[in-house]
Structure 1
Amino acid sequence: MTPVPTPVRFRGTDSYLTSEGLQAAVNCALTLQRPLLVKGEPGTGKTLLAEAIAQGLGLKLLTWHVKSTTRAQDGLYVYDTVQRLYDSRFGDGDVRDIRRYIRMGPLGEAFASPERVVLLIDEVDKADLEFPNDLLHELDRMRFRISETNDEVVAKHRPVVLITSNNEKELPDAFLRRCVFHFIDFPERELMQRIVDVHHPGLDSALADQALKVFYELRAMTRLRKRPSTSELIDWISVLKANGVVELKLEEQLPFLGALLKKEQDLVAVAEAFGRGRRTRA
């Protein structure tokens, strides 16, 4: 299919703030009608980006969570032989109608949809090395045949495809060549302040400043095995507000630190670095 320019442009949403670079990457993928491959550390909003694109473009969102055993075929359709065997034993329905036992996968549903949809393929690097190229082969063809019924499903619209990766393994060069790529940098403090304002409107400015100061100082600690992410900051502020906390200092015992740090070694490291050996209160 020849890429054609599209007048639709993505500018983020009221609840999902984006950088100019990310907006440009999304709009590039829309114009070229190619999958957008997004990488970035956990908590930078890779998965939520798909929801924002769907909301911003007014399209339905389909999600395909990839596992280590996932095959491209699974995304097209599954023939439910177990249900058919059950029905044949207990006489529930006409087992001769094989179409009753064809279950569309997320990719097949996107192809069969009468309207354009956004398809999120989440954590593509969890599958084996053949999966990414097999996936793009199906996306290029935009059609597939159900061998059990000999029916052919032909896509009416090319879906908007967002693929996320956590860099758990290298992806094939052929796959990378056919995607638009963007790495989501962790938000700088100014953008993070805007993100906090969106999720906690009316938050006391002093508490917001202190929470952000503590958050970025924790992230700067080289001993942490898992640095806190944006979503964990938002959760931590929620707990602080709910419990009436109005003042924070990294050098003192931090309240509800278990909302920010998720490994025991990190809690110990913070306690040793800033609490004179005391364990911080989770």
Structure 2
Amino acid sequence: MPRTTDRFDGASTYIATDDLKIAVNAAIALERPLLIKGEPGTGKTVLAFELAEALGAPLITWHIKSTTKAHQGLYDYDAVSRLRDSQLGEARVHDVRNYLKPGKLWEAFTAPVRPVLLIDEIDKADIEFPNDLLQELDRMEFFVQETDETIKAQVRPIVIITSNNEKELPDAFLRRCFFHYIRFPDAETMQSIVEVHFPGIKPRLVASALKTFYEIRDTPGLKKKPSTSELLDWLKLLLVDDIDPETLRERSPNKLIPPLHGALLKNEQDVHLFERLAFLNRREGARPGG
């Protein structure tokens, strides 16, 4: 049975640190949007799904693109269809509501029970996008000009907003949010995350994989550090191909690039970086007395 409490204590399939749980519960108590930042792949979006599951609440997702406008979260008015129907003599043209398409905020404000509203990757939109939603998120209401009515939330939704920090958000918007930055997991937390996704996985394989993974992340000059989700993809491939932990532990000059590295290294610059390091290692190893 899903829980009906409005307190988040984590989930069996999502490793939430104590400070993240505190942030979630603080935002719920304050009835403020929770703004989550962090590296891509650290579980910002998944948090909303797990929170909804843990609270037994419906989840409403609004994935933001570069072309998304704030008014689309409220509603869209299809004036073109109404004009066409009027020319065809359609009876439905007399009710403007037939041409209103509710957006995600409308859906959240009119939900029969308190939902979790995810506004995902808000920093992808135009810089004015957050400011255009200030009043609606603050007052939890908006006016529909076409029907001369106000859509008001009877119960304030729990709002989760994610950002990859691609652009700065306006101060006025930040003042209305409770903020939390998800730090990249340390090795101990990462091991717990791995065990959730791969129950019963061999400890030696995990230890070797994590050592290699963090060494890659710490490599100077790396353009894109591999994320948690990419580590999980890599581990899945290692299991499918039955890679031996000893293979990962090898540090010979020819084995600097780990097996199935395409799951971890996502651009040619980083692959070339490791190839150069392998070349330099081979050259060092070939020197007399080396």
TM-score (norm 2): 0.87
Note the C-alpha offset of 1:7. 6.4
Q: Deviations over 1:227-278 (max 9, x none)?
A: 0000000011111111111231363152211111111111111222246589
TM-score (norm 1): 0.90
Distance 2:281 2:269 in 1: 13
Note the C-alpha offset of 1:91. 7.1
Q: RMSD between aligned alpha carbons?
A: 2.1
Superposition map of 1:158-177 within 5 A: 158-177=156-175
Task: Tell me if 1:33 matches 2:37.
Answer: no
Task: Tell me if 1:260 matches 2:258.
Answer: no
Would the aligned equivalents of 2:138 and 2:176 in 1 still touch at CA under 8 Å? no
- Unaligned segments of structure 2, at least 5 residues: 283-290
Would the aligned equivalents of 2:48 and 2:118 in 1 still touch at CA under 8 Å? yes
- Whichever of the two has the greater Rg, that structure is 2
Aligned residue in 1 for 2:285 = none
Distance 2:17 2:164 in 1: 20
Number of positions where the alignment pairs a residue of Structure 1 with one of Structure 2 = 273
* Structure 1 residues 250 and 260, CA gap change in structure 2 (3 angstroms): farther
Distance 1:195 1:81 in 2: 49
Note the C-alpha offset of 1:215. 0.4
Q: Deviations over 1:131-171 (max 9, x none)?
A: 21221211122222221222332211101001111111211
Q: Report percent identity of matched pairs.
A: 55
Superposition map of 1:1-282 within 5 A: 8-85=6-83, 87=85, 94-247=92-245, 248-249=248-249, 251=251, 252=255, 253-274=257-278
SS in structure 2 of the partner of residue 95 of structure 1: helix
* Structure 1 residues 85 and 210, CA gap change in structure 2 (3 angstroms): farther
Note the C-alpha offset of 1:201. 0.8
The AA in structure 1 aligned to 2:273 is A
Q: Which runs of 4+ in 1 moved over 6 A?
A: 89-93
SS in structure 1 of the partner of residue 25 of structure 2: helix
Bigger drift between 115-124 and 269-278 goes to 269-278
- Unaligned segments of structure 1, at least 5 residues: 1-5
Distance 1:44 1:91 in 2: 54
Aligned residue in 2 for 1:3 = none
Would the aligned equivalents of 1:40 and 1:184 in 2 still touch at CA under 8 Å? yes
Would the aligned equivalents of 1:250 and 1:274 in 2 still touch at CA under 8 Å? no
Distance 1:274 1:173 in 2: 47
Distance 1:229 1:250 in 2: 23
Distance 2:64 2:174 in 1: 18
